[in-house]
């Protein structure tokens, strides 16, 4: 028998403040409880304007360096994946996010501050239920030597491999189930990472102005600039964090065995679109098969 999954929101409003990784400016993010079936919605404050941007695949407008959603014009909120990874882990389906900048604060570079903040706010279980996404056939996306596959499974698990041109990140792989406990202790605390040479180039263009050793793992040519890591394989764990956060844009719990190699935000969102295309088709077929005809074919010929 399939477990019933109830929709959830937070019990109390909370405020989180941090640095925007690109702007270097302080960002205020407020989370508020929402009614069932509201979904996840950002309200971007620009002066006296309050711009509504739902979290959905239809609103994803960029995946170049992070996952960015927009309202179809110039209004955007970027780097939403770390927040959404925490939201997914705790089963939050309905929440309002108010933000005064175009980027979610980077915090410590992981999802841990968001996870801890939501838990401190409390979680309210709603009467309404939500149907988890369960695929029936393998789904995959490929881009050159990069690929991302989702296989049918009764639980959520992942096998992720990265292979960067760096002595410490060649052939790094990690396999794990992804229940709430494991996500909270083994995945969400993993920080974002980058290469020192790339950081310098980005800052020369006015980007990554808020990046530092306080919110990222930084790699030199042959090692780490940081004094210590949270895990020996923190980088591949963070890639799993990003994947979970990106797939959370689908707006529903999901199950399956994810197999990734050198993937990133673009492939993550492409897979999410393929998943929703198959799921929508399957659910529509099931709905049609349950419909009761108003009259029989025999009656129709009379």
Active site residue 88: no
Q: Encode pLDDT of 207-244 as tens digits.
A: 788 999 999 999 999 999 999 999 999 999 999 999 99
Confidence of residue 288 (pLDDT cuts 50, 70, 90): low
Please identify which of the residues 82, 238, 257, 265 carries the catalytic annotation: 265
Q: Which of 155, 241, 246 has the alpha carbon at shortest distance from 191?
A: 241
Is the whole model's pTM more than 0.85, yes or no?
A: yes
Q: Is pLDDT above 60 for 23? A: yes
Q: Which of 56, 37, 152, 138 has the alpha carbon at shortest distance from 95?
A: 37
Is the Cβ–Cβ distance between 33 and 95 less than 8 Å? Answer: yes
Would you state the pLDDT for residue 148?
A: 98
Q: Is pLDDT above 50 for 107? A: yes
197: which 2 tokens?
């040479």
d(CA 39, CA 51): 16
130: which 2 tokens?
């939500």
Count, residues in the chain: 302
118: which 2 tokens?
């939501």
């Amino acid at each position: 028998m399939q477990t019933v999954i109830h929709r959830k929101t937070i019990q109390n409003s909370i405020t989180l403040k941090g640095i925007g990784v690109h702007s270097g400016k302080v960002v205020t993010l407020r989370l508020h409880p929402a009614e069932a079936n509201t979904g996840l919605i950002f309200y971007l404050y620009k002066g006296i304007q309050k711009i509504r941007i739902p979290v959905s695949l239809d609103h994803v407008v960029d995946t170049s360096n992070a996952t960015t959603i927009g309202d179809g014009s110039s209004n955007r909120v970027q780097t939403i994946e770390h927040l959404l990874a925490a939201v997914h882990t705790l089963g939050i389906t309905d929440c309002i996010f108010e933000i005064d900048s175009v980027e979610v604060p980077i915090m410590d570079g992981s999802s841990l501050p968001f996870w801890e903040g939501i838990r401190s706010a409390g979680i309210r279980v709603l009467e309404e239920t939500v149907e988890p996404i369960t695929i029936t056939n393998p789904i995959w996306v490929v881009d050159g030597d990069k690929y991302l596959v989702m296989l049918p499974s009764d639980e959520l698990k992942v096998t992720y491999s990265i292979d960067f041109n760096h002595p410490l990140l060649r052939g790094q792989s990690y396999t794990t189930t992804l229940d709430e406990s494991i996500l909270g202790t083994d995945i969400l605390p993993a920080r974002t990472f980058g290469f020192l040479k790339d950081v310098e180039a980005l800052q020369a263009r006015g980007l990554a102005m808020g990046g530092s050793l306080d919110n990222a793992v930084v790699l030199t040519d042959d090692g780490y600039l940081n004094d210590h890591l949270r895990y020996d394989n923190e980088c591949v764990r963070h890639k799993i964090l990003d994947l979970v956060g990106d797939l959370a844009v689908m707006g529903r719990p999901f199950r399956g065995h994810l197999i990734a190699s050198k993937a990133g935000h673009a492939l993550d969102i492409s897979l999410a679109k393929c998943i929703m295309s198959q799921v929508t088709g399957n659910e529509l077929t099931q709905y049609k098969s349950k419909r009761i005809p108003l009259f029989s074919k025999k009656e129709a010929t009379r």
